Amino acid sequence: MTVEERDELLEASLPVNPRDPGSRRYVVRGPDGLEMYDIKLTRLDGDEPEFHGHPATFVPGKLLSQFRDRGVLQQHEYKELVKSFGALDENREYLHACLRDRSGGPVLGAALFP
């Protein structure tokens, strides 16, 4: 992958939490077979964020619908991905809820299920 391709993927990526500049990001691209990437902030170099990414096996459903609305995913691709990722998405939400203490803050182990 070239530096230009990497920069294009970062530019096209969507954050899980748009209010957090360091939020995990995902990107989906095609059309020659879908490629999905998980992008994480690894450090700040001065004021510049440094991200690293790798192929993803999961993309949150709320982001899949945004990729569909932007024309990145066809409707049939979206439906297939939601069907295959749906259970994973629901399980992650459940695990996040279980890993929070009574005050609502994260507890040790929450980082295992970002």
Q: What is the pLDDT of residues 10-47, one digit of tens each?
A: 899 999 999 888 889 999 987 677 889 999 988 888 87
Q: What is the pLDDT of residue 106?
A: 47
Domains in the chain: how many in total?
A: 1
Note whether residue 84 is domain-resident: yes
Note whether residue 110 is domain-resident: no
Q: How far apart are the first and last CA of the chain?
A: 26
Note whether residue 81 is domain-resident: yes
Note whether residue 64 is domain-resident: yes
Note whether residue 113 is domain-resident: no
Q: What are the tokens at 99? A: 């890993």
CB 78: neighbour CB atoms within 10 A?
18
Domain that holds residue 62: 3-105
Please state the pTM of the whole predicted model: 0.70
